[in-house]
Structure 1
């Protein structure tokens, strides 16, 4: 009866969702592995993701943990390095230092580690990394890899549709040489081809490149009307500066990483009007989001938030895993958690959306196309690009096909 009451209240309590509210005994902690970069070029969104997870864990523990068992966040810094990420994955999984893992911000880092989780039947929930291949490397029916971030195939299709919405057919693509950039480039090219288009110019570059002004001039000479960029925050800012220095007027669009605070820190005014894909945009229309942002602000203090999206998705990931634990009655084995996630019997009213049957045996991606918004930089802050989206966002977007 108590468990039913916990689930019934889950969507109503914002500060501490009721999945966590059930006193019992058993002091052994539930160890939540957490892998993201806290240092280096991707530290902005890695640290934001950790803050979101820390907030959720803190709330759960303040409400009594899982039936009296506290959650313990076993956080590790992968430094945006694939080899370091693999080493940490082996430490958490093979060293049995985590019951399940929430992890990875960089797609290239995640790709090198997926088999560690899959071979051990250890549940991995990806909160931030968006590479399309991450949930496609293993067939969902047998996979232990789940995700609550929007895969790049969704974002690339969204961006190509946006370019056509603006009646721009000459597209240049700037992609870094990481696994993330490679995957994004392939996705963009694929969706352009579906509209009988191909990039008029493609530039590849290493992370840490100081300037791409010459390449921007070449894109301008090729007639580019729009630039789609696939890279991380600092390089997004560098691209915006290079576009301004080259006198390029082509619209600048990108996936979610164009909204990272490090992009604005480096790009400044050159980013004004640039547009990107987001699952959450700061607004005051939904109480649960307003409350989350306020609690996150109290937790981080004066530390700037690198990505609201990374924080929100990581926060929701913790609660989704907690819901799965209630459904398995505390069993954290991979098979039990996998089955629970694929057949969640109650919706979770999260920050990004309401997760109503977010996964199935054939689909391990929680985010669907209707949950994406176009955001833009205006005077150093993120806003909805289209006013009508701000109005639409007041209605929770549920995954198509979910029962409600």
Structure 2
């Protein structure tokens, strides 16, 4: 009887779905990121489940809205770990949320792929040798990569040397500004003006006037859509036609819509631009519109990285032949199969000492033209078409 009971229990366990948590901001100013990511993860899961799932089990998503609020993000993390018993987690758009939420997954040895948040501490807080084994991985361009690319853009393409740095007063904004300053220092440069702004702030006229009075040749900004739109509008109201450049969040739909014509010409770092330049990307864009019911992706970067994060996680579970946390972590650190994503084709994207999937050569410069994101430089579009080696760091 004991053997029979054990066989029934094993069969029951095998029939249970694989529960994967998805935390993101599905409301509020960061919602374009969270909603775009969530639709894409759902799309990837639907494809995997249609093919039979993983290990003979279907995937079940357990979704939670953190509203870009650290307290709510931490509460969601605890619920997913303690009550829902998820076996892995995807998501996190805001660095401040990640800094308090991710520790719960790390302590429970549950693998996480952060697919939006760019703040350097996201992975550094659990990096060796301080932490022997990290369960936190990232599939997004870290601030250090983005800031290096932005400074190269204004120095090498624009031939400028005087910049004003404006960042929001959150861990994300402050870290971004510090990384910009480090990238400048590497070239022997210092900002001519540095300022901060609060979430929800709409009047940026004083910051623009101060930046202009300091002699800035370009505005480098670090924040999210609504506040960045207020900066673009203030620049236009001032009649100041200096370039506006920033992180990937300048591509958010709530920046493009709120800024209107004032946002045209803004440039930003991107891992993915919603143009069908390859058959893989074309298929993704068509499927996304069908799955979401949206003609326009609110945050194409978040969608692409969300989709790819599910593919990487699925590949690791398949390789590990298990959903046990340590086994999946080990598989992520030594993936044997190529994973054909929409950002790129991943070849051993992680190692034990490196949990960053995105490398400098995978980042391009986007530009807003007539309310749409396109490639700022044709040579970068060609690089995407021919493919790039992703293991170089």
Normalised by the length of structure 2, the TM-score is 0.93
Q: Aligned partners of 1:50, 1:317: CA distance in 2, in Å?
A: 11
Q: How does 1:221-236 map to 2 (within 5 A)?
A: 221-236=213-228
What is the deviation of 1:215? Answer: 1.2
Partner of 2:26: 38
Partner of 1:384: 375
Partner of 2:334: 343
Secondary structure of 1:60's counterpart equals helix
Answering whether residue 191 of structure 2 is matched by residue 199 of structure 1, we say yes
Partner of 1:319: 311
The alignment yields a C-alpha RMSD, in angstroms, of 1.4
Q: Deviations over 1:113-164 (max 9, x none)?
A: 1221211111111011110111111124521110010101000111011111
Partner of 2:41: 53
Asked whether the equivalents of residues 267 and 365 of structure 2 are also in contact (C-alpha less than 8 Å), the reply is yes
Partner of 1:364: 355
Asked whether the equivalents of residues 349 and 391 of structure 2 are also in contact (C-alpha less than 8 Å), the reply is no
Q: Aligned partners of 1:81, 1:146: CA distance in 2, in Å?
A: 21
Q: Aligned partners of 1:42, 1:142: CA distance in 2, in Å?
A: 31
Identify if the C-alpha distance between structure 1 residues 389 and 401 changes in structure 2 by more than 3 Å, giving closer, same or farther: closer
Secondary structure of 1:394's counterpart equals helix
Q: Aligned partners of 1:311, 1:280: CA distance in 2, in Å?
A: 9
Q: Deviations over 1:147-186 (max 9, x none)?
A: 0101010001110111111111001011000111011011
Q: Deviations over 1:61-93 (max 9, x none)?
A: 111111331100111000110000001111111
The count of corresponding residues between Structure 1 and Structure 2 is: 377
Asked whether the equivalents of residues 289 and 296 of structure 2 are also in contact (C-alpha less than 8 Å), the reply is no
Partner of 2:389: 398
Partner of 2:320: 328
Q: Aligned partners of 1:387, 1:304: CA distance in 2, in Å?
A: 23
Q: Aligned partners of 2:149, 2:209: CA distance in 1, in Å?
A: 26
Q: How does 1:89-100 map to 2 (within 5 A)?
A: 89-100=77-88
Q: Aligned partners of 1:175, 1:280: CA distance in 2, in Å?
A: 23
What is the deviation of 1:96? Answer: 4.3
Q: Aligned partners of 1:45, 1:211: CA distance in 2, in Å?
A: 24
Partner of 1:11: none
Partner of 1:82: 70
Q: Aligned partners of 2:344, 2:294: CA distance in 1, in Å?
A: 27
What is the deviation of 1:233? Answer: 1.0
Q: How does 1:202-217 map to 2 (within 5 A)?
A: 202-217=194-209
Q: Which runs of 5+ in 2 are unaligned?
A: 1-12
Q: Aligned partners of 1:58, 1:129: CA distance in 2, in Å?
A: 24
Answering whether residue 173 of structure 2 is matched by residue 185 of structure 1, we say no
Normalised by the length of structure 1, the TM-score is 0.91
Asked whether the equivalents of residues 151 and 184 of structure 2 are also in contact (C-alpha less than 8 Å), the reply is yes
Asked whether the equivalents of residues 164 and 192 of structure 2 are also in contact (C-alpha less than 8 Å), the reply is yes
Q: Which runs of 5+ in 1 are unaligned?
A: 1-24
Q: How does 1:298-309 map to 2 (within 5 A)?
A: 298-302=290-294, 304-309=296-301
Partner of 1:352: 343
Q: Aligned partners of 1:97, 1:347: CA distance in 2, in Å?
A: 29
Q: How does 1:130-209 map to 2 (within 5 A)?
A: 130-140=118-128, 141-165=132-156, 166-209=158-201
Partner of 1:251: 243
